[in-house]
Structure 1
Amino acid sequence: MAERDAPLQAGPSIARRQTNDPDSFNRLKQQGLADIVRLAGKRWTDYNLHDPGITLLEQLCFSLTELQYRCDFAISDLLSSADGQIDYAALGLVAPQHILSSRPVTAADYRRYLLDQLPQLTDIYLLADNMTGLYRVLAVAADTGTTTGPDVQQLDIDIRRCFSTQRNLGEQLGDITLLTPLACQPTAELEIRAAADPVELLAEFYYCCQQLLQQSTERQSYADLLAQGLSYSQLFDGPLTPAGMLRHSEPATSVQLHDFIQPLQSIDGVVQLTQFSLCCNGEHYYDSLPLQHGLALYALQLPANAAQLNVQLYVGNKAVSVDLAAVLQRYRQKLFRQQSRWQVDLDGVCALPQGRLRPLAQYHSLQAFLPVNYGLAQSRGQLQPAQWQLKGYLLLFEQLLANFLAQLQQVPALFSPSNTEQSYYWQVLNEQQISGISKLYPADMAEKLGQLYQQFDNVLARKHRLLDYLLALYGESLYQHSLQHFDYYHNAYSGAARRLAQKVRYLQQIVTMTRDRVAAPDHYAPLWRDAVGGFVQKQALLLDLGQTAQSLTTAVLQYKLRLSSERQLQSLYLDETRADDLLQPVAALRLPFAPDSPALRRRLATAICLEGDTLPQQVVQSGVTLSNYRITLQQQRYQLLLKVPNSQRDEWWLCGSYRHYRRALILANCLSRFLCHISHTSEGLHLIEHVLLLPAKAKARLPAEFYDGRITVLCPNWTARFADSGFQRLVTESLQLNCPAHLSCQVLFISFERMHRFERLFKYWRSAVKAGRDSAGPETVALAQYLYALSNEAAVERADAPAD
């Protein structure tokens, strides 16, 4: 009876899946019904399943779930091309080994980098002087023990040039001392197994001793470390060293012989290490080894012949003889494998994700899923007017769905930084997708859709938001609000486009903008444009400067012109009461030639302000703005006038006089465009680190504080923007804000003549550095003294300037 009253056990079943996804079919349908009740509750009361409106709502919700399904594809699929490849560079994405690695920051980082790049080094240590920024270098050459010995002079040059490529601001190499490591020969007795190969065992013994003595040669493969479970952030911590990761980056301050016992006893075939010591300079050491300059610098000394072999092998109590030549050959093979096995392609180690092409834009009409009695699947000739009306009604929804899929297909173009032409995408449906669509579409449907979307496609604003998102992936942002107040060279639209291009350049150079943000110039680079460091490159981009790679005076000198702060043009004074009647504003023209083209230069030949080879810099500063020009009719000639900046009276410069108004109008536009060109391309920065001039300290006879922890940035003061005191403050704040905290950054704004003089001295000094001439030569002395004079003049001018 008890068994009869027992409750029935539920059989196996599939639990109903509960989801809170707002885009699920049920949630979409509920939301649709709620909207129908709210909008048409008084006119529509039948919400049963047999209602055609409910059927259409269900089909629409089903189609929306298809859109959600395609949006949930892997991002690699959404970004892949037809061959499954992803153009990472075009999308502004950077591989982990480039974006996660950093420049050398500490002395240990420099050691890792130099050992990786210079195979002629066995070991190297950099000892920092925090006051001057100099590193004293202790190096060990790889060929110290050879008969010829190392080329000391060439090794010095190689170290300095390699260091210069990764140098940070305010850092420089001082004296380089080449040390000879202590030669250590092991003395040991080993009991081995009878089955062990004595040649292999003794070669491994010497190899293990070499690794323990010369820790700088211990490298680990990136592929092996990745297989051990290290993450990319752990793997690429510090400078990138393609030859492998150094196991020990910090210098060893002592070598204890008890650290040798366990590794040597762990050699395959060794039963017991019964005796071990190291012989250095004829003296045996059992506890620890002596140091050089406080560093553990040692080299393994191999026996030259069998008589010098101090490692004895025993099987029980019986000595085992070994072929020394075979041992040395096997030892060299181990060394060669250790030195060369890590040379791998990092792009292959860090395999980037690949996707598969999916036809995301392929659209399936929801009409195909409607009941058969709707009759929408019939041929065009069988459709009734009511059915055509329903097709047209549904086309409104289907076009939106199809355009969404087209937008999804164009995700790579949407997120591509270089694509700034379009951000909304659409597609025109065809007869295979919806039968009879050609009758519902107008003949120029593609053109009409394009015109419609262009009305709402604010490309610049949308691309700005997308670029902000891409920059945020790297923890970066680019604020341009302050810069907008000093845009002398563009109108509203071209200025917005220019700021968008600025963000694109920032993203394309994201490695330089982040990893190399405090990189110093490499003055050993072959060309001037290659010597620009990451700090200058970033500041030039943040301030939207036109020049980073050459002389700032070349933009003017190449036109056989010189700027002068003293020359003044003859001024005209107009009666202020009649000025409004006499002066006509200049309208902007679309010129068919470039600002640096010969065609534009020919039209400027008649400009009075360009007569001779000297141009007042006030003309450059005022003439970039077209609103500063006026045209007046005097004695049946049209005169082009330029407003004198900061003039107390209604004062104008005469730029040209013509019989025809059109020629004066063209001249004004040509002159404005040309002056904008030379003004913008003259804007740049010259950075000098005082520590580089330290070798000339004795000859230059300058104060000691001139060299310690200081950098000077020279900027032009003759361009339109740099003549603005507000922009000068912005430049100074940006440079000092981004400068390393331990350095004092001085910003000087100097005239064209002084900049030309500085660039000549800088060129001579840099040529001397590249040629390896005396670092305390006359070029360094002249540059240091001129820079000191400029600093003193700036200090005097600041003292005489009125208070704000």
Structure 2
Amino acid sequence: MPILDEHITIPSNVSFKDDLDFEYLRDAGQQYIEELSRKIWTDYNIHDPGITIMELLCYAITDLGLRIDQPIENLVSSPENNFERMHEQFKSAKNILTCKPVTAIDYRKLFIDIKGVKNCWLAIHQLPLHTECNIADPKVSFQPFTGSEYSTESFNVKGLYTILVDFDEDEVYIEADIIAAIFTKYHQNRNLCEDLVEVLKVPKQCIRVCTQVQLENAADEEKVHATIQFEVGQYLSPSLRANSLTEMLDKELSSDKIFEGPILENGFLTPEALEKSELRKEVRLSDIMNIIMQIDGVKLIEDISIDNCPPKNDGDSDCNQNITANSDAWIICIEENHLPILCDQSTFKYKKGFLPVGLNQEKVDEYTEELEAEDKASQEKSFDDLPMPLGTYSKIKYNTVQHHLPENYGISKYGLSNTVSDERKVKAKQLQAYLLFFDQVLGTYFSHLEHTKTLLSADETLQQTYFFKAVEGINGIENLLADFPSYQENVENIIDKLEDFNERRNELLDHLIARFAEVFEDYTNTMHKLFGTSKDSVERNIINTKNKFIKEYDIISSERGLAFNYRRPSQWNTNNVSGFQKRIALLSGLDDYSRRDLFNDNITIQTLKRFTIADGVHIEYRWQIKSDDKVYLSSRKDFKSKQLAITELLEVLKLATNQNNYVLRRTKTASKRYYIALVNEKGKVIGRQYNHYYATKEKAEEKRIATIKFIDDLLFDEGFYLIENILTLPYHTGDIGELNECLPLCINECGTCAEIDPFSYQVTIIFPGYTSRFSNIDFRIFMEDLIRRELPAHIQPRICWVGHIDGALTRVEKTPIIVNPNSGISNMVISKPVVSEKKRKASKATSVFRVGEDVYDDNFTYTINEYDEDYDMKHIQKNWKAFLKSKSRKAGGYMATHNATKKLVCAINRMNTIYATGTLHDCDDDEGENKNRIILNRSALGSL
């Protein structure tokens, strides 16, 4: 059997502590001296000035080492507002180790934490859908297809839940208010592709226990009876005991185990306790006997039996249900999703010796109240945080070593006497200059140590990773340096030449990210490979992305499976989006993950209606990038099809990311004025400004910079929509209706409905496919791989890269059919020409038409053919916004109208992915980078 290699690990402590060992440093320094100068220097005793200086420098190194060796909380502490600053530097255990609910146990913790909830359970909501397997016209319905000539199948929609609640019997709690609180709490913590249908009071199955118990002679029979009833009740329906932080630590649990799950208000609940309080499947007589025998004062059980309590018909009792579960004398089977409770028809009889024992019911009630009060008090704890290590701040300042030499060296802060010779003064200055080098090296180290807090943070304002500080306190330093006034500046220039800020900052950020077991390697490589022509811009983007990722890591980590809360009143221009969207955005460099308008009218295809004698009425297209009052770029020609205009526009959006592609050109007119143009790699003008000319080159350059900024802001306004299919299921009406027209129902060739469920655990992810990055096929592949890697494994994504350009156009074609002007056609966009037909035929010029008038001419032969609506970003955005507005209405029960749902379902299931023009390349051809290369047998055009 082969021996497996041991795992390679990074040691937690890589320091050899040599910098703290003065003797080691002294011996190593003396050895270097001996090797370098043994022919001319043989006196290595401590009285030698060279040895003295060496020892002093060794001491300075140990001082630096001791400061480096301080606890990290000391190095990053602040002189002011240290508590707040430390919480900015680090995430506390409560904020970084907890997460939004994922499992059923997590959700139970969340709801049991609500006052008035004794216990609760999640049950799968049964909602069957029926399918008719008609290949030509498949359908789904809430009602069975009876009498259909096609095969039919049924399936249950997944991801819907019912919450069963065991309410606290305290009268201060109102059940309706508790149910509303549960709905609110659930939707604040709803998981992707899941929804809560109803909250119900858990149905109860009443168990009758009849027993006769022999007591000890000294037993308090009232206390024994109250304890037996309480403990048996806890066995059937246990309440949960919360723990304080101290109690959790006393269990010797690690901090990640203590804070596992959601943040609560009333103490910590352990998974073990929740598992023990699951709804029982059966009640065993042996368990009840064991509980009774463990109570103090019980001697033996003379007789005992259990069975189901006979139902009552008064309508007020919890025991009026009909139980069908099989049972016997030893085991009572519990109905599914039922809670067993002790029946009021149970009988408990007690004896001491041969004599029966009577009970004082008032004393029994007192003992029962004490037990219940103790149980309730055990649930009222606080959810405390682990204390943040605050550290002790100490100012890190370097003091020159020159002041620590004996005064007879003449370089202390007192200097030399005025009576000494000039030669002695010169020698002192030489020693000062010699030691200044060591001073500056040590001072620079101290300066870096002082900035540890900044370097190990996601500080977006940080512009350097090397730090320099001039040495202070040296007498006559201005005489030691040739250009003392520029001393600080000159050394800083040296530091700047040494520093590669982007590389070092990325290494530091990678270190911080690695502490969360996260990596950015794929994103970094993708950005460099696809958009590396503007290296500084790409590096800044990567650094900013990492900074934001670290700053918001507590959110994107704990909320990675969270859905948005559709019960909030405001659903647009909001950060109320799924945790998955936030995480994907911060992993892919999206500046803004809010739900907002992704379509804008700044980038558009202009539709031009033309009329010529040869072609008649036709439509041409021109792309534009514009503001409300200015066209910044426009195509140089008109296109006969919209797709041709879109193709060139996608190329333009890629070229527009490189400011070197914006050039100034001069008109051919006599004025020779300047205008702004966009050129491709070959220098060919692909777009330009019209009707905006500038007399001077300086003015044109100013406008060129303004154009670059305007377009740059547009192109990086990236985002995406995530639509959960389950939210479009109209289970509240029980009617699918016209949604069948748009649902993606696929039947295989055999006519069976395999995997036809269009609602369960599916999301539709919609990107604007026209931005500079999103129009690149390789970047799309990166994004799709990232989505599939980060999306919960049980959820299936449909990813689409839709177009920007609005559709719903009307095309008018010339045909040999004569249109009757009295036919009632009202949506015809062609009206009578302004010029007469005779004049038009004579000039053979393009006629101008008035649009929108119901004016017809019998001499014209036109027919009307309407395009289908293009399901682009504008159309999808409009219907997604309308759907959310409809669904967030409290008056509508937080369910969208059928009309809004249908429009959204049709929009997302009829949209198409758009592609920029690709080029065919060989597998080994590296020149095709960033050119949407297509490699045969290795390319996939998106995912639908």
Q: What range is the shorter-chain TM-score in?
A: 0.7 to 0.9
1:482 is aligned, of 526, 529, 533, to: 526
Rounded Cα–Cα distance in structure 2 between residues aligned with 1:378 and 1:713: 71
2:383 is aligned, of 339, 346, 371, to: 346
Question: What are the within-5 Å matches in structure 2 for residues 235-314 of structure 1?
Answer: 235-243=258-266, 244-246=268-270, 247-249=273-275, 250-268=278-296, 270=298, 280-282=308-310, 287-293=330-336, 295=337, 297-300=339-342, 310-312=347-349
Identify if the C-alpha distance between structure 1 residues 337 and 549 changes in structure 2 by more than 3 Å, giving closer, same or farther: farther
2:719 is aligned, of 679, 684, 705, to: 684
1:22 is aligned, of 18, 23, 36, to: 18
Indicate the residue corresponding to 2:706 in structure 1.
670
Question: What are the within-5 Å matches in structure 2 for residues 9-158 of structure 1?
Answer: 21-23=17-19, 24-82=21-79, 85=83, 87-91=85-89, 93-117=90-114, 119-120=116-117, 122-127=119-124, 132-137=157-162, 139-142=164-167, 150-151=175-176
Identity of aligned residues (%): 21
Indicate the residue corresponding to 2:9 in structure 1.
none
User: Secondary structure of the equivalent of 2:561?
Assistant: coil
Show structure 1 runs of 5+ residues with no match: 1-18, 571-595
Rounded Cα–Cα distance in structure 2 between residues aligned with 1:82 and 1:731: 44
User: Secondary structure of the equivalent of 2:736?
Assistant: helix
Rounded Cα–Cα distance in structure 1 between residues aligned with 2:160 and 2:724: 15
Q: CA contact under 8 A between 2:243 and 2:381: conserved in structure 1?
A: no
- Farther-moved stretch of structure 1 (398-407 vs 154-163): 154-163
1:630 is aligned, of 638, 653, 663, to: 663
- Farther-moved stretch of structure 1 (79-88 vs 498-507): 79-88
User: Secondary structure of the equivalent of 2:567?
Assistant: coil
The code of the aligned residue for 1:698 comes to I
Indicate the residue corresponding to 1:462 in structure 2.
504
Identify if the C-alpha distance between structure 1 residues 167 and 148 changes in structure 2 by more than 3 Å, giving closer, same or farther: closer
- Farther-moved stretch of structure 1 (202-211 vs 447-456): 447-456
Indicate the residue corresponding to 1:734 in structure 2.
786
Query: 1:226: Cα distance to partner?
Result: 1.4
Rounded Cα–Cα distance in structure 2 between residues aligned with 1:146 and 1:380: 86
**Greater fraction of residues in helix:** 1
Identify if the C-alpha distance between structure 1 residues 373 and 620 changes in structure 2 by more than 3 Å, giving closer, same or farther: closer
Q: CA contact under 8 A between 2:468 and 2:491: conserved in structure 1?
A: yes
Rounded Cα–Cα distance in structure 1 between residues aligned with 2:660 and 2:439: 51
Deviations 1:282-313 (A, max 9, x none): 499863333122x4512456x6xxxx894456
Question: What are the within-5 Å matches in structure 2 for residues 353-752 of structure 1?
Answer: 353-361=389-397, 363=399, 365=401, 367-368=403-404, 370=405, 374=409, 376-377=411-412, 379-382=414-417, 384-385=424-425, 386-418=427-459, 420-431=462-473, 442=484, 450-479=492-521, 480-487=524-531, 492-528=535-571, 529-553=574-598, 556=600, 561=601, 563-565=603-605, 567=607, 605=630, 609=634, 622-634=655-667, 635=669, 636-643=671-678, 651-655=686-690, 656-681=692-717, 683-695=718-730, 698-699=736-737, 700-701=739-740, 702=743, 703=745, 704-752=756-804
The code of the aligned residue for 2:453 comes to P
TM-score of the aligned structures, taking structure 2 as reference length? 0.68
Deviations 1:455-498 (A, max 9, x none): 4444443222121111111111223221244559x954344233
Q: CA contact under 8 A between 2:125 and 2:197: conserved in structure 1?
A: no
Query: 1:54: Cα distance to partner?
Result: 2.4
- Farther-moved stretch of structure 1 (493-502 vs 617-626): 617-626
Identify if the C-alpha distance between structure 1 residues 763 and 334 changes in structure 2 by more than 3 Å, giving closer, same or farther: farther
Rounded Cα–Cα distance in structure 2 between residues aligned with 1:777 and 1:267: 61
Query: 1:322: Cα distance to partner?
Result: 5.2
Q: CA contact under 8 A between 1:184 and 1:280: conserved in structure 2?
A: yes
Q: Does residue 898 of structure 2 align to residue 780 of structure 1?
A: no
Indicate the residue corresponding to 1:8 in structure 2.
none
The code of the aligned residue for 1:22 comes to D
1:230 is aligned, of 245, 249, 253, to: 253
- Farther-moved stretch of structure 1 (738-747 vs 138-147): 138-147
Query: 1:769: Cα distance to partner?
Result: 2.7
Identify if the C-alpha distance between structure 1 residues 199 and 95 changes in structure 2 by more than 3 Å, giving closer, same or farther: farther
Identify if the C-alpha distance between structure 1 residues 311 and 371 changes in structure 2 by more than 3 Å, giving closer, same or farther: same
Rounded Cα–Cα distance in structure 2 between residues aligned with 1:443 and 1:627: 40
Identify if the C-alpha distance between structure 1 residues 65 and 689 changes in structure 2 by more than 3 Å, giving closer, same or farther: same
The code of the aligned residue for 2:702 comes to I
CA RMSD of aligned residues (A): 4.3
Q: CA contact under 8 A between 1:768 and 1:774: conserved in structure 2?
A: yes
Rounded Cα–Cα distance in structure 2 between residues aligned with 1:221 and 1:456: 53
Indicate the residue corresponding to 1:168 in structure 2.
191
Indicate the residue corresponding to 1:763 in structure 2.
881
Identify if the C-alpha distance between structure 1 residues 387 and 146 changes in structure 2 by more than 3 Å, giving closer, same or farther: closer
The code of the aligned residue for 1:257 comes to L
Identify if the C-alpha distance between structure 1 residues 90 and 427 changes in structure 2 by more than 3 Å, giving closer, same or farther: same
Rounded Cα–Cα distance in structure 2 between residues aligned with 1:663 and 1:164: 56
Rounded Cα–Cα distance in structure 2 between residues aligned with 1:310 and 1:483: 76
Indicate the residue corresponding to 1:3 in structure 2.
none
Query: 1:675: Cα distance to partner?
Result: 1.7
Deviations 1:421-450 (A, max 9, x none): 34334545554xx66667758466555555
Query: 1:674: Cα distance to partner?
Result: 1.1
Identify if the C-alpha distance between structure 1 residues 650 and 67 changes in structure 2 by more than 3 Å, giving closer, same or farther: closer
Rounded Cα–Cα distance in structure 2 between residues aligned with 1:713 and 1:378: 71
Question: What are the within-5 Å matches in structure 2 for residues 153-232 of structure 1?
Answer: 159-173=182-196, 178-184=201-207, 187-189=210-212, 202-215=225-238, 217-232=240-255
Rounded Cα–Cα distance in structure 1 between residues aligned with 2:279 and 2:179: 21
Identify if the C-alpha distance between structure 1 residues 517 and 530 changes in structure 2 by more than 3 Å, giving closer, same or farther: same
Identify if the C-alpha distance between structure 1 residues 642 and 42 changes in structure 2 by more than 3 Å, giving closer, same or farther: same
User: Secondary structure of the equivalent of 2:888?
Assistant: helix
User: Secondary structure of the equivalent of 1:245?
Assistant: coil
Query: 1:740: Cα distance to partner?
Result: 2.7
Q: CA contact under 8 A between 1:715 and 1:749: conserved in structure 2?
A: yes
- Farther-moved stretch of structure 1 (311-320 vs 463-472): 311-320
Deviations 1:515-545 (A, max 9, x none): 3333333322343324311111111122222
Show structure 2 runs of 5+ residues with no match: 1-14, 127-154, 312-326, 611-624, 636-641, 746-755, 807-871, 919-931, 940-944
TM-score of the aligned structures, taking structure 1 as reference length? 0.78
User: Secondary structure of the equivalent of 1:87?
Assistant: helix
Identify if the C-alpha distance between structure 1 residues 263 and 531 changes in structure 2 by more than 3 Å, giving closer, same or farther: same
Q: CA contact under 8 A between 1:623 and 1:642: conserved in structure 2?
A: no
Deviations 1:558-596 (A, max 9, x none): xxx3643464899xxxxxxxxxxxxxxxxxxxxxxxxx9
User: Secondary structure of the equivalent of 1:255?
Assistant: strand
Identify if the C-alpha distance between structure 1 residues 168 and 86 changes in structure 2 by more than 3 Å, giving closer, same or farther: same
